[in-house]
Structure 1
Amino acid sequence: MEWLNRMTKAIQYIEQHIDGELTSEDVAKAACSSTFHFQRMFYMLTNVTLAEYIRKRRLTLAAQELAMTDARVIDIAFKFGYDTPESFAKAFCKAHGITPTAARQPGVTLKAFPRLSFHFSLRGDQDMDYRIEQKEAFSVLGKKLHVTCADDENLEAIPAFWNEMNSSGMSDYLCKLSPESKMYGICLHMDMETQYYDYMIAVDTPAASLEETKKFEIEEIPAATWAIFTAIGPVPDAVQKTWQRIFQEWLPATGYEHTGGPEMEVYPPHDDPFDPRHRCEIWIPVTKK
């Protein structure tokens, strides 16, 4: 598949430049992809960010050089992108549990993070329905949570955020402000380098200016072409599994790429989210490659 070849080329590029200047933009270019789309795909396919993968590969190779050569620690630190021996020693100790100097002792245990490889796997055991829609820009009103996907923190923090909004009555309050709106769970301002983004629980901004809206934040969702998927089953499991399938199955198998814009979960208001028949949608902004 095309995506398999592109990912393989990206890994080859990383290995060829692992001891030189290496940017996410250059790696994405090697995969003929936008930087955001490549970083998002890389993380969803490997469960490690691109920056973390490069860091772990460099520390793996640095450990090998320390164990097998007489090169100075400072030279190895500079070779693998560290500005000072101190920053290298700190990162090395965190990765291997010992100092760079100790890595030269006979019989020490070092950790290796192997080079990634991608393989095609036929699935097709479950249909994945979707539709493509164009939507003009619109604004939403709601509350935000600043969250990270490091260590899968978002998988616990976001459901807890929903529980807090529901138990406090804030979700119902939002629905009353915009009674014709569905509920949105929106991923905004995603930074794949730091792994942080804002998650917003929101409704369409009311047409009338209301005094009550001042306690909420407003965000503009840009016009986009959306790939829309249906998640069926109790929240959050059904939603999380659908997210995984979008990035692991649908995007690699199609000619579409993520544009880097906001992602949305769209929920019917007042439905029971724990009902096995519960239906919601996931909206991904896409462009045809």
Structure 2
Amino acid sequence: MIGTLNDLIDRIEQTLDGDRPGQDVDIAAFARAHGTTEYHLRRMFASLAGMPVSEYIRRRRMTRAAAELVAGAPHLLTVAVRYGYGSVEAFGRAFRSVHDTAPAQVRREGGPLRTQTALRFRLSVEGRTPMDVTITDRPAFALVGHAVEVPLVHEGVNPHIQAHIAALPPEAHVRLKAIGNTEPAGILAVSDGLEPDAAEGTPLTYLHGVAVSEGTDVPSDLDEIPVPAGTWAVFASRGAFPETLQRLWAATATEWFPSNPWRLRPGPSIVRYLELTETHAACELWLPVEPG
């Protein structure tokens, strides 16, 4: 996977070096040619780079465009069209979102600029995050509970999720525990409906609930996420909360997936808390996988 990601970086740079630097890179076709899926490729890129591949491409284009303006490109529209924008206004919005200044100002004054250098991925051969991993096949089941749309937060506690859970009365938790009847057992934190390379702040569906076997009669006032049969990688870890869980998420991308013959497939991610206090957690992270 590390080699595939670096090949993707090279493909992006080749496009930027060509006559049409604004031409889109066909990520789906690239993934197929490298024996993986677009979903897995985008998830791994975002996890390792800290940004979606679409954001990286936009930053690299605006870095190249800024260099042309500093070098004295005579017409803003010419530069805009070269980099895939149909108007100076659209180009200007994209340019300001990266450099926080207008293209015309950069052409006059040479800056200030925020440069995005070309990335290069490297694999650390020393595992830094202890992980106990189990691969398990599960029949179809459903996740049921109380769902809400929240923005994605990469670091720290998500206050929107906190508020959602705090608003549930104690009897709601007791009721959910009584309904759950299959693995993963117990109260679950479920994230669903998120694009594979979603940026910070992107909306996702968060469900506070339990797992039930297929065909279970679910109360009509609860939300339900059907889950098809498939294989799951279950990562177990314990430590400070929420840092341990967030490090575990990162370690799956940086250490486990590059070293194992599995890749992510579309589906919800599930966190099962075995122990949880304000400062400590023992948890399992369930990720849907398929042979890589």
Same fold per TM (> 0.5)?
A: yes
Q: Equivalents in 1 of 2:108, 2:258: separation in Å?
A: 45
- Do 2:181 and 2:212's aligned partners in 1 also have CA atoms closer than 8 Å? no
Secondary structure of the equivalent of 2:158? helix
Identical amino acids, percent of aligned pairs: 25
Q: Which moved more, 1:74-83 or 1:198-207?
A: 198-207
Separation of aligned partners in 2, 1:245 and 1:86? 41
Per the normalisation by structure 2, the TM-score is 0.85
1:92 match: 95
> How has the CA–CA distance of structure 1 residues 252 and 43 changed in structure 2, closer, same or farther, with 3 Å as cutoff?
same
Residue number in structure 2 paired with 1:44? 47
Runs in 1 of length 4+ with deviation above 6 angstroms? none
1:238-257 paired onto structure 2 within 5 Å: 238-257=244-263
CA distance in 2, matches of 1:231, 1:155: 18
Partner of 1:201: 208
Tell me, in whole angstroms, the C-alpha distance in 2 between the residues paired with 1:284 and 1:198.
16
Aligned equivalent of 1:164: 166
The answer to whether structure 1 residue 232 and structure 2 residue 238 are counterparts is: yes
Match of 1:186 in 2: 190
Q: CA RMSD in A?
A: 2.7
Query: Partners of 1:104 and 1:47 in 2: how far apart?
Result: 30
Question: Is 1:109 the equivalent of 2:116?
Answer: no
- Tell me the distance in 2 between the aligned counterparts of 1:273 and 1:216: 26
- Tell me the distance in 2 between the aligned counterparts of 1:237 and 1:158: 18
Q: C-alpha distance in 1, partners of 2:85/2:76?
A: 11
Deviations 1:210-263 (A, max 9, x none): 7xx222111111111111111213542322221111111101111110012222
Q: Contact 2:131–2:237 (CA<8 Å) still a contact in 1? A: no
Q: Deviations for 1:176-200, whole angstroms, at most 9, x for unmatched residues?
A: 4447741221221221355442121
Over 3 Å counting, the alpha-carbon distance change for 1:170 and 1:83 in structure 2 is farther
Are residues 39 and 126 of structure 1, via their aligned partners in 2, closer, same or farther at CA, if it must alter by over 3 Å? closer
Q: 1:56 matched to which residue of 2?
A: 59
- Structure 1 residue runs of 5 or longer lacking an equivalent are none
Distance in 2 of aligned mates of 1:88 and 1:155? 36
Count of matched residue pairs: 281
Is the Cα–Cα contact under 8 Å of residues 147 and 157 in structure 1 kept in the other structure? no
Aligned letter for 2:210? V
Indicate whether 1:25 and 2:28 are aligned: yes
Post-superposition shift, 1:93? 2.0
Q: CA deviation at 1:96?
A: 1.7
Question: Which SS does the other structure have where 1:87 is aligned?
Answer: helix
